[in-house]
Amino acid sequence: MATTQNLPPVDQRHHKAFDSISVPERLLLGPGPSNAHPSVLKALSLPPIGHLDPFYVDLMGEVQELLRYAWQTDNRLTLPMSGTGSSAMEATIANVVEPNECVLVAVNGYFGNRLVDMAGRYRAQVETIEKPWGDAFSLEELELAVEQYRPSVLAMVHAETSTGVCQPMQGIGELCHKYDCLLLLDTVTSLGGVPLFIDEWGVDLAYSCSQKGLSCPPGLGPFTMSPRAEKKLERRVGKVPNWYLDVSLLNKYWGSDRVYHHTAPVNMNFGIREALRLLSEEGLENSWERHKKNAEKLWEGLESLGLKLHVSEDLRLTTLTTVQIPEGVNGKEFNLHLLNNHGIEIGAGLGSLAGKVWRIGLMGYNSTPENVERILNLFKTELPRFKENVACAA
Amino acid sequence: MATTQNLPPVDQRHHKAFDSISVPERLLLGPGPSNAHPSVLKALSLPPIGHLDPFYVDLMGEVQELLRYAWQTDNRLTLPMSGTGSSAMEATIANVVEPNECVLVAVNGYFGNRLVDMAGRYRAQVETIEKPWGDAFSLEELELAVEQYRPSVLAMVHAETSTGVCQPMQGIGELCHKYDCLLLLDTVTSLGGVPLFIDEWGVDLAYSCSQKGLSCPPGLGPFTMSPRAEKKLERRVGKVPNWYLDVSLLNKYWGSDRVYHHTAPVNMNFGIREALRLLSEEGLENSWERHKKNAEKLWEGLESLGLKLHVSEDLRLTTLTTVQIPEGVNGKEFNLHLLNNHGIEIGAGLGSLAGKVWRIGLMGYNSTPENVERILNLFKTELPRFKENVACAA
């Protein structure tokens, strides 16, 4: 047999005797991942079964149905991509964008810029409309831009993880229908935590992640596609220029044919099935209300400590809050202090907000009054000491 | 705040009250996934930590080093892609293939055809050399084709999961160097179970999966890239036409810069770190020898039952055996019988071997004498009964 061929000796230079894994305890109050629900972790560790096992095939249907509820959509093509949220983001672009078509991206943060990058790689003619990081777009601004560029796709971010802004969605779906353009929406930091109505809002393509509002570890990218977007995919000339994320192939596995495409990440799907089940058990309205109450408690507490929030109250996400770093404080050092001495992760600023804000997430399982109190107490006791330390060190 | 906008009522049609997840016990003796090692499942269920946490950053380095050992390579760019093996497969193509370049694919099974499909999507001029499913390529055949097509990349499969063939690799690396072409190798069903020497064999790009020889659930795609392939990536005109799998971006996260790219699937990485640690603890030579012994026991047993193996002994994979379905037996019904009545999954044939072979995997944690005896006993007791049933029903 094949292994009896002449073989070289095994090189031991990269052979390392590492210990078994042990992980420090962390409270993850950054932009994600958030802590996972214990029963989700338990589901993750169930023994794997085959990706074509009848039991697994049933589970796939359950995950799809639970995702439809979470997103409030009837879309047939609603499924978790076998990668993180970024892979689902790329899937929305890869499937519907054809070369030289105009994609208009509304950029008011880091993830808008990522959409620009991705659309360019799929050879779109990319146009942008921009707003400062921390602001949102008005319907009028969007309409002017759509009228000017007549895009095939308007791509925008519902919940900007880099800024903490929640984009008001009223009228945008109607606008896109009027101009025969698909509406593509980033819901990475809203799914499960913030009111979200894919069908009511006329959204044609959306993506999210597993590790924020859903209380599951990162590794899956929920994806949904409307019948309008499906039609565009059917009409496209040539294959989708991305095999792994090709929805026309994935549809044959997730649809009734059950044709093998790739080996599904079965354990991650066990996890997200439990995470979505828990969301369904709590009920969307209750989850949204819980996120709202805890966010309001955080905002009040931070403001009572004299801290300034980066986003005006009417545009604030309840899942992620951006706090301005006070003058004289090295934000990164405070992050490290919380992590190393208190086991708490909060996020640093990204892009144009780097060094200017902290990002505090209260998402899914982590959106509790106890966590709000814990982080507020640390801001109260540690931040002043920290300011002094910084002053002494200077 | 944003959630006080006018909102429609929540639609309850997709609200389902599913029970908590429970999974049937399965012995997975198909082409993968294989059963995961219990300590890998335990690692998977550890609480997640941040993808930029210093602890996680250390763990990434450990995973890379353990992968280098498993693959026998010094390649700096050795890392698990955040998707299944198929995503790593696509990553090898996406990063080095530029439009209109010639990619020569050696096709002797299902996964060779998939390489053809993928390379075409990246706008390569794809040429193929073909052999029957169950056969391998001689060095002479490959040299003739390389001389004829002068490809930039020769893509081939070390361990064809669809046929059970192990491609002899002697001389192929030298051939590719002689013709200044990169050697791209599918090692999905060989990594961890079958002798594999990336650097000694002159392989420039390879990919694998987590759920076979490594005894981890599916969800990560080990990927490695030689300095020669890296240089080709550096020289390429324009961006890699795939954002998620762009190694020039991933390198900034996995390299010393630690620049955020996407949120890593941290729990899957906990799992693969433990899986690779176990492989390192056992030692590659011991793991290869174990797979060989158990495969030989399986082959002997099957042949003593009068069954025919599809691949000649000198080309047989020790991780995956293809068994010809005897005349008069409906292979699919026997698969279902084993699954439903004995909790054992074996694989059906793919592509041109559909309906003609079963695929029996003995991979990683599952390659044990006990599992060989269990499956042999079932072939002994159930297959004859099954044949009779089929005859009666006919």
Which of B2, B85, B199 lies at the smallest CB-CB distance from A317?
B2
A18 touches chain B (CB under 8 A): yes
pLDDT band at A144 (very low <50, low <70, confident <90, very high): very high
pLDDT at B27: 98
SS3 A61: helix
At B118-153, the pLDDT tens digits run 999 999 999 999 999 999 999 999 999 999 999 999
Cβ contacts of B47 on chain A, cutoff 8 Å:
23, 25-26, 35-36, 41
Contacts of B45 in chain A (CB under 8 A): 41-42, 44-45
Average pLDDT over residues A85-113: 98
Which pLDDT score is estimated for B388? 61
* Average pLDDT of span B30-38: 97
Per-residue pLDDT of A279-334, as tens digits, reads 999 999 999 999 999 999 999 999 999 999 999 999 999 999 999 999 999 999 99
**Mean pLDDT, chain B, integer:** 95
To the nearest whole percent, how much of chain B has pLDDT over 70?
97
Q: Is the pLDDT of residue A96 over 90?
A: yes
Distance (Å) of CA B363 to CA A352, B43, B253, B360: 49, 20, 31, 9
Residue A17, chain B, CB below 8 Å: the answer is yes
Task: With cut-offs at 50, 70 and 90, classify the pLDDT of residue A394.
Answer: very low
Asked if omega into B33 is within 30° of 0 (cis), the reply is: yes
Q: What average pLDDT does this structure show over B82-103?
A: 98
From A383, A382, A386, select the one nearest A307 (Cα to Cα): A383
ipTM: 0.96
pLDDT tier, B350 (very low <50, low <70, confident <90, very high otherwise): very high
Residue B4 pLDDT > 80: no
Give φ, ψ of A70 to 5 degrees: -60, -35
Query: Measured between CB atoms, does B248 come within 8 Å of chain A?
Result: no
B236 touches chain A (CB under 8 A): no
Question: Cα distance from B153 to chain A (closest Cα, Å)?
Answer: 19
- Comparing alpha-carbon positions, the chain A residue that sits nearest to B87 is A244
Region B26-33: what's the mean pLDDT? Answer: 97
Are the CB atoms for A198 and A169 separated by under 8 Å?
no
- Check pLDDT > 70 for residue B30: yes
Chain B residue numbers with beta carbons less than 8 Å from the beta carbon of A87 are: 82-83, 87, 244, 262
**Cβ under 8 Å to B: A residues 299-358:** 313-318, 339, 345, 350
Render pLDDT for A66-81 as a digit per residue (tens, 0 to 9): 999 999 999 999 999 9
Which alpha helices (H) appear in chain A, and where do they start and end? Answer: 38-44, 54-71, 85-96, 110-121, 139-149, 172-178, 227-235, 247-254, 266-282, 284-304, 331-342, 369-393
Q: Sorting pLDDT into bands at 50, 70 and 90, what band is B281?
A: very high
Q: How far apart are CA B220 and CA B70, in angstroms?
A: 15
**Interchain CB distance below 8 Å, B280 and A7:** no
Cα R_g (chain B), whole angstroms: 22
Which domains does chain A show, CATH number per domain?
Answer: 27-31+284-393 (3.90.1150.10), 38-281 (3.40.640.10)
Chain A within 8 Å of B33 (Cβ-Cβ)? yes
Residue B186 touches partner A, C-beta closer than 8 Å: no
How far B80 CA sits from the closest chain A CA (Å)? 12
Predicted local confidence at residue A387, as pLDDT: 79
Contact yes or no for B39 and A23 at CB 8 A: no
Beta-carbon contacts below 8 Å between A and B: 341
Neighbours of B15 (CB within 10 A): 16
**Closest residue on chain A to B124 (Cα):** A241
Look over chain A and give the mean of its residue pLDDT values, rounded to a whole number: 95
* Residues B250-260 as b or e (16 or more Cβ within 10 Å = b): bbebbeeeeee
DSSP structure class, residue A316? B
Best residue in A3, A67, A269, A274 for a mutation probing chain B (most B CBs within 10 Å): A3
* Closest to B115 in 3D by CA, of B193, B194, B187: B187
Q: How many angstroms separate the CA of residue A367 from the nearest CA in chain B?
A: 16
Confidence at residue A388, expressed as pLDDT on a 0 to 100 scale: 61
**Are residues A345 and A338 in contact, defined by beta-carbon separation less than 8 angstroms?**
yes
Does the distance separating the beta carbons of B292 and A3 come in below 8 Å?
yes
pLDDT per residue over B358-394, tens digit each?
999 999 999 999 999 999 999 999 999 887 655 444 3
pLDDT above 50 (res A213): yes
Of the candidates A168, A261, A264, the beta carbon closest to that of B5 is on A168
Question: Which of A36, A85, A270 comes nearest B21 by C-beta?
Answer: A270
B21–A273 CB contact, under 8 Å: yes
- Cis, bond preceding A33 (omega within 30 deg of 0): yes
Q: Is-contact B134 B317, C-beta < 8 A?
A: no
Contact B195 A3 (CB under 8 A): yes
Question: Residue A6: what pLDDT?
Answer: 79
Q: Is A69 on the interface with B (CB under 8 A)?
A: yes
Q: Is residue B55 pLDDT above 50, yes or no?
A: yes
* Interchain CB contact of B237 with A (< 8 Å): no
3-class SS at A104? Answer: strand
Does B5 contact A at CB distance below 8 Å?
yes
Per DSSP, the residues of A118-156 read HHHHTT-EEEEEE--TT----HHHHHHHHHHH--SEEEE
- Confidence tier at A393 by pLDDT (50, 70, 90): very low
Contacts of A244 in chain B (CB under 8 A): 83, 86-87, 90, 245
> Does the beta-carbon distance from A122 to B267 stay under 8 Å?
no
Contact yes or no for B219 and A82 at CB 8 A: yes
Q: How confident is the model at residue A389 (pLDDT cuts 50, 70, 90)?
A: low
**B72/A23 CB distance under 8 A:** no
Contacts of A314 in chain B (CB under 8 A): 1-2
Distance from CA of B88 to the nearest CA of A (A): 10
Say yes or no for a CB contact (<8 Å) between A264 and B66.
no
Q: Is A237 on the interface with B (CB under 8 A)?
A: no
Please give the pLDDT value at position B124: 98
pLDDT of residue B393: 45
Q: What is the pLDDT of residue B3?
A: 47
Residues of chain B in contact with residue A39, where contact means CB-CB under 8 angstroms, are 20
Top-confidence residue, B387 or B39: B39
What pLDDT is attached to residue A118?
Answer: 98
